[in-house]
A and B are shown apart, each in its own frame.
Chain A
């Protein structure tokens, strides 16, 4: 297990600052990082090393908390504590800020593009989730402001194939939203975590959702459609989500991020104890009651809290992580063959 996660390289991505988040572009060739130094950096591979190809530093007045690539890979969104979200358009190695989305009352904590590329979601410490629509002329319009959470919303994420939006909050819940007659409504609330839910990840099929929390557990939720054979009750035509697995006792501090590899199904976590862990579902485990085993645990992956982990979407086993220590690290995950 010790050798399952091997360090490939380390970069001081945001020196003297925190590196808050990482996002691979859909092609897996570029990695965007953002940090407390108010900048976004784009990293590309040159031979065996990673070099900084662009620095986007004029966009924000405060920490950039999250970045997200559009599904086509031509746009990058950056969410900042300055209450704005910038949309950058890629022109070869250059990025130009084409729009700034305003409206949130305070720090924007997360941004996410829907797989269709037409919708964008943002969330904030002002407890709201905003849904934006993009048209052919790159014009962004707010289509909904959702006030369902009762506290700071930490993360938003779109379902990989359905037009379903998920959000995680300081109010200990995960909420799901869908469109209903021209407006967006909260269609499910997932309760169970005992503290702030920091991040979310859907599995490759989109049937399961993983959430990680300040309560040091990871929870796996499964979607049950009305009329399901397991007899899970549903509210009208809305699917129900039930917690089918809880991973507890593995993390000694807050779990800040979780990433579900779309190629292999491996689950990576970023923890406040400076470690990175990887879990895999046990082969043959019951789909309604899955079990996961810890297949990699790297203590001291960074010298401070690990804020983000991100699987490369094209290269199997390539994992990137970043930390409060301002560093970005690349890892090769290879589960050991063994009895």
Chain B
């Protein structure tokens, strides 16, 4: 019931209109797919980090139990290093992916774990 003016308008602008609608649909679909992919990516990498740090923490807890009696001065030195690692892990903000020192702190934890591993595995 539109005038002949609108009918031609509809035909002439059809290309641009379909382009716009297509873009909009694509954008929305892309956004929701992106959200899903991002979530999977985050879950995967977050789990990897969690698993790695969890492993260090478990190792430290186990050795802390083993050295619990602190028989020698060497043992108490080892204990100090273990507590240092446990402390670093406990202070780490696991629920904040935007933490600005994330990678720096992770590297420090990894370094501390390597040191702990060498310290506890040698000597009496």
User: Which residues of the other chain, B, contact A139 by a CB distance below 8 angstroms?
Assistant: 123
Specify which of B84, B108, B110, B123 lies most central, judged by the most chain A CB atoms within 10 Å of its CB.
Answer: B108
Asked whether A128 and B114 contact (CB < 8 A) given A147-B107, A147-B108, the answer is yes
Asked whether A141 and B119 contact (CB < 8 A) given A103-B114, A128-B114, the answer is yes
- A142→B111 contact, CB < 8 A: no
Kindly state the separation between the CA atoms of A139 and B111 in the bound complex, as whole angstroms.
21
User: Which residues of the other chain, B, contact A146 by a CB distance below 8 angstroms?
Assistant: 111
- B114→A145 contact, CB < 8 A: yes
Q: Chain A: interface residue count, which band?
A: 10 to 19
Q: CB of B112 within 8 A of chain A? A: yes
User: Which residues of the other chain, B, contact A145 by a CB distance below 8 angstroms?
Assistant: 110-112, 114-115
8 Å CB contacts to A: which residues of B66-124? 77, 84, 107-108, 110-112, 114-115, 117-119, 123
- B111→A147 contact, CB < 8 A: yes
- Which one, A102, A147, A183, contacts B118 given CB within 8 A? A102
Residue in chain A with minimal CB distance to B107 = A147
User: Which residues of the other chain, A, contact B107 by a CB distance below 8 angstroms?
Assistant: 147-148
Nearest CB of chain A from residue B92's CB, rounded to whole Å:
15
- B111→A144 contact, CB < 8 A: yes
Kindly state the separation between the CA atoms of A148 and B107 in the bound complex, as whole angstroms.
8
User: Which residues of the other chain, A, contact B114 by a CB distance below 8 angstroms?
Assistant: 103, 128, 145
- A143→B115 contact, CB < 8 A: yes
- A147→B110 contact, CB < 8 A: yes
Kindly state the separation between the CA atoms of A144 and B123 in the bound complex, as whole angstroms.
18
Q: Chain B: interface residue count, which band?
A: 10 to 19
Asked whether A142 and B115 contact (CB < 8 A) given A147-B107, A147-B110, the answer is yes
Specify which of B77, B112, B118, B123 lies most central, judged by the most chain A CB atoms within 10 Å of its CB.
Answer: B118
Nearest CB of chain A from residue B61's CB, rounded to whole Å:
20
Kindly state the separation between the CA atoms of A144 and B73 in the bound complex, as whole angstroms.
19
Kindly state the separation between the CA atoms of A142 and B119 in the bound complex, as whole angstroms.
7
Kindly state the separation between the CA atoms of A103 and B112 in the bound complex, as whole angstroms.
12
User: Which residues of the other chain, A, contact B117 by a CB distance below 8 angstroms?
Assistant: 103
User: Which residues of the other chain, A, contact B123 by a CB distance below 8 angstroms?
Assistant: 139
Residue in chain A with minimal CB distance to B111 = A145
User: Which residues of the other chain, A, contact B110 by a CB distance below 8 angstroms?
Assistant: 145, 147
**Residue-wise interface mask of A (121-148) relative to B, using a CB-CB cutoff of 8 A (1 in contact, 0 not):** 0000000101000000001011111111
- B119→A128 contact, CB < 8 A: no
User: Which residues of the other chain, A, contact B111 by a CB distance below 8 angstroms?
Assistant: 128, 144-147
User: Which residues of the other chain, B, contact A141 by a CB distance below 8 angstroms?
Assistant: 77, 119
**Residue-wise interface mask of A (275-287) relative to B, using a CB-CB cutoff of 8 A (1 in contact, 0 not):** 0000000000000
User: Which residues of the other chain, B, contact A183 by a CB distance below 8 angstroms?
Assistant: 84
- B118→A144 contact, CB < 8 A: no
Nearest CB of chain B from residue A145's CB, rounded to whole Å:
4
Nearest CB of chain B from residue A261's CB, rounded to whole Å:
35
8 Å CB contacts to A: which residues of B10-64? none
Kindly state the separation between the CA atoms of A139 and B122 in the bound complex, as whole angstroms.
11
Closest 9 CB pairs of A and B: A145-B111, A147-B107, A145-B114, A103-B118, A145-B115, A147-B111, A142-B118, A142-B115, A146-B111
A-B contact pairs, 15 of them (CB 8 A): A103-B117, A128-B111, A130-B115, A139-B123, A142-B118, A142-B119, A143-B115, A144-B115, A145-B111, A145-B114, A145-B115, A146-B111, A147-B108, A147-B111, A148-B107
Beyond A103-B117, A145-B112, 12 extra complex contacts between A and B, CB < 8 Å:
A102-B118, A103-B114, A130-B115, A141-B77, A142-B118, A142-B119, A143-B115, A145-B115, A147-B107, A147-B108, A147-B111, A182-B84
